[in-house]
């Protein structure tokens, strides 16, 4: 029987998707030039650690696509257990260090968050992935793109099937979101790994173009 959590195996990049349950985001364990975890979700810490242990993956860091609680709730525990630092866009790092509940929207999920030790992710490229700044869902949203393998990890900016993230939450901005989705259509994407919902392994750019079309009607 195939493992339903194992979405792709590639020669240069391997990505394990741990699907979000309840309100938790998807979590991606990425093996590339360096190994990292993208988004910590808000629950599956044990599952993540078990997978990392069973595969003997040497994780270098945790990267957060933005500051929302459903993506960061498990970050502190995960960082402790794996003994790795957490990185995010400088605006996310600042809000998370301050434990800014209003913009982290933890109370919307019935949770509280205290200050997290998050470092600024300021590398233009990391482990073969280009960091793309995509404000709109939040002012601290980023995507990661691997040009060689045509992989986009899109956070809550675009979802497969033509979806886009909300822009009506604190620090969100509709115009910026639209510009960010348009920016993403310029990249050649085969595999699309979003923050929520299913990933796709081919023709990712068609999904992103559909997202742009959908947001253009709003």
Residues contributing to the site for Zn ion (CB under 5 A): 68, 156
Residue 165 exposure: Cα atoms within 13 Å on the Cβ side: 33
**Nearer to Zn ion by C-beta: 17 or 68?**
68
Closest approach of Cβ 107 to Zn ion, in Å?
14
Tokens representing 63?
């990267």
**Nearer to Zn ion by C-beta: 140 or 151?**
140
Closest approach of Cβ 165 to Zn ion, in Å?
6
Q: Which residue's CB comes closest to Zn ion? A: 68
**Nearer to Zn ion by C-beta: 68 or 207?**
68
Closest approach of Cβ 195 to Zn ion, in Å?
7
> Helices marked H in the chain — which ranges?
45-54, 69-72, 75-82, 90-98, 101-104, 174-184, 204-217
Element (H, E) at 63: strand 59-63
Closest approach of Cβ 55 to Zn ion, in Å?
28
CA distance 186 to 67: 25
**Nearer to Zn ion by C-beta: 51 or 87?**
87
Residues, the chain: 218
Closest approach of Cβ 205 to Zn ion, in Å?
22
Q: Find the helix packing angle between 174-184 and 204-217, rounded to 10°.
A: 150
Residue 168, phi then psi, degrees to nearest 5: -100, 10
Tokens representing 142?
């980023």
Closest approach of Cβ 177 to Zn ion, in Å?
11
**Nearer to Zn ion by C-beta: 68 or 178?**
68
Angle among Cα 200, 203, 206 to the nearest 5 degrees reads: 105
**Nearer to Zn ion by C-beta: 84 or 140?**
140
Residue 194 exposure: Cα atoms within 13 Å on the Cβ side: 22
């Amino acid at each position: 029987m195939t493992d339903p959590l194992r979405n792709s195996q590639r020669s240069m990049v391997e990505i394990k998707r741990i699907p979000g349950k309840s309100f938790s985001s998807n979590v991606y364990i990425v093996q590339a030039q360096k190994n990292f975890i993208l988004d910590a979700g808000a629950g599956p810490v044990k599952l993540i650690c078990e997978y990392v242990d069973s595969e003997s993956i040497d994780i270098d860091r945790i990267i957060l696509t933005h500051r929302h609680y459903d993506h960061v709730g498990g970050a502190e525990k995960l960082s402790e257990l794996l003994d790795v630092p957490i990185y995010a866009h400088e605006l996310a790092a600042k809000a998370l260090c301050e434990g800014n509940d209003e913009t982290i929207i933890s109370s919307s999920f019935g949770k509280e968050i205290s200050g997290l030790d998050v470092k600024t992710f300021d590398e233009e490229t990391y482990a073969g992935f280009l960091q793309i700044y995509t404000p709109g869902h939040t002012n601290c949203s980023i995507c990661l793109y691997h040009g060689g393998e045509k992989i986009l990890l899109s956070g809550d900016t675009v979802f497969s099937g033509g979806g886009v993230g909300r822009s009506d939450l604190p620090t969100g901005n509709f115009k910026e979101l639209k510009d960010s989705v348009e920016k993403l259509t310029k990249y050649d994407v085969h595999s699309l790994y979003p923050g929520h919902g299913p990933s796709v392994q081919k023709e990712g750019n068609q999904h992103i173009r559909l997202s742009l079309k959908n947001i253009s009607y709003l």
